[in-house]
Amino acid sequence: MDEPLRISVNDYGYEITFTCTNEDDGSEFDFTPYNAIYFVVWEAGQPNVVLLDGVCASATPASGVCTYTLVEGDFTTVGNFSGEIQVTKSDDPDVRLTLIPFAVVVAEVAKGGA
């Protein structure tokens, strides 16, 4: 992702869609051989301070498309964060492969005036 993922603080209840591709040829990444897809977010510059480690879904695994549904409590702090889409295989669930690194910006929602 070239542009940061922008989320309003305390917003939830909608899906974020990611399209993952193979680095070598740009083709769709096939999730089929993987047992889990994760949406991981941490404080920028502090990868050991994980704020969110949620499970994504993929309706069509061979398409390279996965979604994460924001739930209440995911983004309660305004700031700049780093994130990745990661996958694991069932035969080695402790090893995660990073597919897409990206920046996350969580901002206050502008309030309308009279």
Query: Which residues are CB-neighbours of 31 under 8 A, at least 6 positions away?
Result: 20, 37, 58, 61, 62, 64, 66, 87
So what's the pLDDT on residue 113?
A: 52
Query: What pTM does this model have?
Result: 0.88
Give domain limits for the chain: 5-107
pLDDT in tens, 14-42: 999 999 999 899 999 999 999 999 999 99
Query: In this structure, which CATH number among 2.60.40.3350, 2.130.10.10, 3.30.930.10, 3.10.290.10 belongs to the domain 5-107?
Result: 2.60.40.3350
Residue 86 near residue 40 (C-beta atoms within 8 A): yes
The first and second tokens of residue 50, run together, are: 């994980």
